[in-house]
Every structure is written in structure tokens, then in C-alpha cells.
């Protein structure tokens, strides 16, 4: 069903009804933290175009544990901040755009050590359906 939707539902129809919770739980479910960090890594996603409770999410990645997603500040030091709007991250996640384009345009900003930013980009390759070619106009 996911392959069919990626192939045949128009990009605009997909992006018309965005849901931050759905996006972030899909990211959490598909994050691939390889190589695993030496210590717990806390990544805060900040959607500037959303109001609480859909503005801030914390992704926790720790060796030997499943990644976790928090909608309330877990109280850990943040290693990397991802500042963007919901549409931009959705476009990157679904393969309609990519990390370099979103970063270059300024629509997505990563604040923190460059090695953490590189890890995040490797850990979040996109939705499992992102590589499915669009057939819909």
C-alpha cells in the first residue's frame, strides 16, 4: 500500500495534510543509528511553524537500545538541534527533496558538532518508500 501511495498520490496531495506526530513516529521507527554512538545522543527537532505540542520532539539514540522519541523534554543535554518547518522535513523524509538542498536553502538548519550532523544524516536515510519513483503528475 505504501509503494502504491508513493507512486500514485501527487506530491501536493501528500503535503497538503501534514502531521508532525505521524512524521516523527515514522522517523523514530525507521532511524538506523549505524554506527551507534558511543554515548546517548539527544537530537531536538524544532518545527518553527507549529505550536505546542507539535513544535518540539526529542529523538534519543543510545547504543544497545531502541531509539526513543519524546514529546516532552527528557531533560538531557541536546547534542544536535534540527530547526525547520514541517513541510521541509516531510519533503526530505519522503524523498521529494534532499538534505543538501534543504540545508543550502536555509529551510533546514542543523546546530551542533559537525560529526553529530553527519551522523544524523546517515541515520535518517528517508522513508522506506522514498526511492519509489513517482508516476502521478
- With 0-12 / 13-18 / 19 or more C-beta atoms within 10 angstroms meaning exposed / middle / buried, residue 22 is exposed
Question: CA 27, CA 119: separation in Å to the nearest integer?
Answer: 15
Give the pLDDT score at 14: 55
CA 39 to chain centre: 21
pTM of the model: 0.87
Give the pLDDT score at 75: 98
pLDDT under 70: residue ranges of the chain: 1-15, 128-137
Give the pLDDT score at 134: 55
Scanning 9-133, the segments in alpha helix (DSSP H) are 11-16, 20-30, 86-94, 99-105, 114-123
Q: How many CA atoms lie within 13 A of 101 on its CB side?
A: 9
Question: CA 79, CA 111: separation in Å to the nearest integer?
Answer: 9
Give the pLDDT score at 8: 46
Which of 125, 87, 80, 124 shows the shortest CA–CA distance to 105?
A: 87
Amino acid at each position: 500500500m505504501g509503494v502504491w501511495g508513493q507512486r500514485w498520490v501527487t506530491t501536493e496531495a501528500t503535503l497538503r495534510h501534514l502531521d508532525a506526530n505521524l512524521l516523527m513516529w515514522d522517523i523514530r521507527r525507521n532511524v538506523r543509528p549505524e554506527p551507534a554512538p558511543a554515548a546517548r545522543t539527544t537530537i531536538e527537532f524544532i518545527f518553527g511553524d507549529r505550536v505546542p505540542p507539535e513544535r518540539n520532539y526529542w529523538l534519543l539514540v543510545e547504543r544497545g537500545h531502541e531509539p526513543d522519541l519524546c514529546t516532552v523534554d527528557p531533560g538531557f543535554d541536546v547534542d544536535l538541534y534540527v530547526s525547520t518547518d514541517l513541510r521541509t522535513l516531510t519533503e526530505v523524509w519522503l524523498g521529494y527533496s534532499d538534505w543538501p538542498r534543504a540545508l543550502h536553502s536555509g529551510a533546514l538548519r542543523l546546530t551542533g558538532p559537525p560529526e553529530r550532523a553527519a551522523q544524523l544524516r546517515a541515520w535518517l536515510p528517508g522513508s522506506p518508500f522514498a526511492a519509489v519513483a513517482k508516476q502521478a503528475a
